[in-house]
Amino acid sequence: MVAPSAVAAFPAQLFSGEFLEWALAFFVLAVLAWAVGARGIAGISMEIARLLVLVFLVLALLTLVL
């Protein structure tokens, strides 16, 4: 567990950009699935990518505030 003083000193270390990387991967998967006609997979992948971008934005805002 991280000590509270360490959290206050280095809030940017708590959040890396992995959610954005995963969102980009799911977006690419959605585009490829759409291109080959797999609409179900494309839709699900796009929803996952959208959710991950929203999580990324919330965590980025929290990191900026802290």
Paired tokens of 60: 């980025």
- Cβ pair 35, 42 in contact under 8 A: no
Paired tokens of 64: 């900026």
User: pTM of the prediction?
Assistant: 0.66
2 belongs to a structural domain: no
More confident residue, 65 or 15: 65
27 belongs to a structural domain: yes
Q: Structurally, how many domains does the chain consist of?
A: 1
6 belongs to a structural domain: no
45 belongs to a structural domain: yes
Q: How far apart are CA 2 and CA 22, in angstroms?
A: 25
Tens digits of per-residue pLDDT, 11-63?
555 556 777 888 888 888 888 998 998 889 889 999 998 998 898 888 888 88
50 belongs to a structural domain: yes
List helix spans (H) across the chain: 4-9, 18-36, 39-65
20 belongs to a structural domain: yes
42 belongs to a structural domain: yes
- For residue 61, what are the domain limits? 16-65
36 belongs to a structural domain: yes
